[in-house]
Amino acid sequence: MSARRPELTTTSTTARRPWWATAVTYQVYPRSFADSTGDGIGDLRGITSRLDHLVDLGVDAVWLSPIYVSPMADAGYDVADYRDVDPLFGTLADADALIAAAHERGLRLLMDLVPNHTSSAHRWFVSALAGAPGSEERARYLFRDGRGAGGSEPPNNWRSVFGGPAWTRVTEPDGRPGQWYLHLFAPEQPDLDWSDPQVRAEMGSVVRFWLDRGVDGFRVDVAHGLVKADGLPDWHADAPAASAAPDADGARPPMWDQDGVHEIYREWRSVVDGYDGDRVLIGETWAEQDRLSRYVRPDELHQTFAFALLQAPWDAAALRRGISDSIATAHEVGAAPTWVLSNHDVVRHPTRLALSGVADLLSGVLPTDPQPDPALADRRGRAASLMMIALPGAAYLYQGEELGLPEHTTMPASARQDPSFFREEGRIAGRDGARVPLPWSADEPGAGFGPGGATWLPPPDGWERHAADVQARDPGSTLRLYRAALALRRRLDLGGGALTWAEGFGDDVVAFSVSTPDSSVLVLATTGEPVRLPDGGEVALSSTEIMGGLLPADSCVWIVREPTS
């Protein structure tokens, strides 16, 4: 049998346990959640009107992807004004109303902070373009002279995560071709220079602005990217642009996971700790596994997303490794583990887990790519979700996964919006397939996304089958499975439990117990053959029907072994 020695792992149960250590947080992608105006784009009033869905689901917190003023070159991850709401989504008053409505329902609310880059429409960048090379205005960004004759070549060979060079040349105010500026993402997202004191002061002030409005914390975008290596040295031209992996000599990419980022998080942590109510910072840190714990040292971020499960194929050994690694990483520094299967940047997990060949999660699925078997996707998606919800620590759900939504894998090119599709000239699908507006009501136009039925991305055929209202009535639906699993997780306090690997099951089974002082739940997820259930205990939940004591292939079950007192 593979390396599956029993291993005891615990989350902190003795010390006072903050809410976020075991919370289930639901990511709202505002433009695709619910539309109140009929323009086909989701908005803040739409979100507020649907908060009860989240209460019924049983989550603890909501993380809102960006709602700030933005030209929407990257769907809001290009911020032009961090202190106001884009008219597409509503007003600052709508944001205040949403925060209040969430709090009234006992839900915490986290904002998305985008500190690595601004929009090219931000007043700072506009004045940098008007300023001279070497000016104070340019010092807030990474402007450099080009290489080669007349500075016509980019200052280094870095590539944008969205394809193409990571540099764009500007036209100087006198009309001549001039300096270049760095953008690790789209040209409309110029990277800030975090060695500039104004940048630090401004972003600290933005953090306080929203904390003062009552938000419970932030998800920090590209948290591993803010600081770049001195001198901006070239990197291997063939290394994937988004990868923080070291090269064969152990050198690490100069644009990711630089030690200087930690000082920033220490500063923010002290700001956040100055507020009441256990506010939280959670980092999007695509760093190497062995460097992740650095971000969650006691005086830095509270959590980072552990992307181990999100990157694992439907393979029991890979899933076990992902779970072990994430727990070990968190425990190195006394942090709670986190879990995530899907978000707005990657192929939705039911589809991903049914496609063995999706090499790059960010590439999406084109109509010309191999297509998933919908039944298999549904089955594996439900099994993976049930397994994740049992794990100790904090879990992050992406809107629509509670409806079992698959990726839209047949979206026509004419409907696509993601800049990565255009920067790669259509060679990859990009992320639109994970961002299709949610189906709320099967019988309404546009599956009830908003009045009139408009949707900013077209849904795939049969989308209404997944509608929340249909699923709420169907005891076998994925929505009902999520509700039941989250309720039991809460009742048994699985988030605060201890995980022990269970012995005696085959290599194709992820088998573990989660124990608390009052109960123990055995979780079995099989990625291969059906599994005979052990004697004892009570089947509390299963992702597919169990018949004759057999857990079918591609399924997960929770067996409560000791009832709660």
Binding-site member from 35, 43, 74, 257 for ligand NOJ (CB under 6 A)? 74
Q: Does 257 bind ligand NOJ (CB under 6 A)?
A: no
CA 296 to centroid of chain Cα atoms: 17
Q: Is residue 407 involved in binding ligand NOJ (CB under 6 A)?
A: no
Question: d(Cα 522, Cα 309) in Å, to the nearest integer?
Answer: 19
According to the binding rule CB under 6 A, does residue 396 interact with ligand NOJ?
Answer: no
Q: Cβ 353 to ligand NOJ, closest distance in Å? A: 21
Residue 402 annotated among the catalytic residues of the structure: no
Helix, strand, coil content of the chain in percent (nearest 5):
30, 20, 50
- The active-site residue out of 193, 284, 378, 418 is 284
Rounded distance between C-alpha atoms, residue 242 and residue 77, angstroms: 16
Which residues face 182 on adjacent strands? 167
Among 28, 222, 309, 457, the residue binding ligand NOJ under the rule CB under 6 A is 222
Residue 74 or 257 with smaller CB distance to ligand NOJ: 74
Q: Is position 305 an interface residue for ligand NOJ (rule: CB under 6 A)?
A: no
**The one-letter amino acid at 562:** E
Does residue 221 touch ligand NOJ according to CB under 6 A? yes
Q: Which residue's CB is nearer to ligand NOJ, number 438 or number 556?
A: 438
CB of 344: closest distance to ligand NOJ in angstroms?
6
Selected from 29, 68, 77, 501, the binder of ligand NOJ by CB under 6 A is: 77
Nearest CA-CA partner of 116 in 161, 172, 165, 52: 161
Task: Return the residues of window 475-534 that contact ligand NOJ according to CB under 6 A.
Answer: none
Nearest approach in angstroms of CB 184 to ligand NOJ is 8
Q: Inter-axis angle of helices 261-273 and 197-212, to 10 degrees?
A: 30
- Residue with smaller CB distance to ligand NOJ, 432 or 464: 432
- CA gap 438, 425 in Å, rounded: 27
Judged by CB under 6 A, does residue 345 bind ligand NOJ? yes
Interacting positions 108-137 with ligand NOJ (CB under 6 A): 114
Alpha-helical (H) ranges within 405-523 are: 419-423, 468-473, 478-492
Outline where 58-196 has alpha helix (H).
Answer: 92-104, 123-130
Q: Cβ closer to ligand NOJ: 228 or 320? A: 228
| Least distance from ligand NOJ to the Cβ atom of residue 507, Å | 34
Q: How far apart are CA 60 and CA 20, in angstroms?
A: 9
Smaller CB separation from ligand NOJ, 4 or 140: 140
Nearer Cβ to ligand NOJ, position 339 or 501?
339
Residue 108 CA to residue 66 CA, distance in Å, equals 16
Taking CB atoms, the residue at the shortest distance from ligand NOJ is 77
Annotated active-site residue 401? The verdict is: no
CA dihedral 77, 83, 88, 92 (to 10 degrees): 140
Residue 180, interface with ligand NOJ (CB under 6 A)? no
The footprint of ligand NOJ on residues 182-201 (CB under 6 A) is 185
- 226 vs 386, beta carbon nearer ligand NOJ: 226
CA 115 to chain centre: 16
Distance CA 396, CA 382 (A): 15
- Which of the residues 414 through 473 are near ligand NOJ (CB under 6 A)? none
Amino acid at 528: G
DSSP H or E stretch at residue 83: strand 81-85
**Contacting residues for 265 by C-beta, under 8 A, at least 6 apart:** 223, 281, 283, 295, 300, 301
CB of 86 to ligand NOJ, least distance (A): 15
**Counting contacts by CB under 6 A, is residue 68 touching ligand NOJ?**
no
Contact 354, 328 (CB under 8 A): no
Residues recognised as catalytic: 221, 284
Query: Site residues (CB under 6 A) for ligand NOJ?
Result: 74, 77, 114, 185, 221-222, 284, 344-345
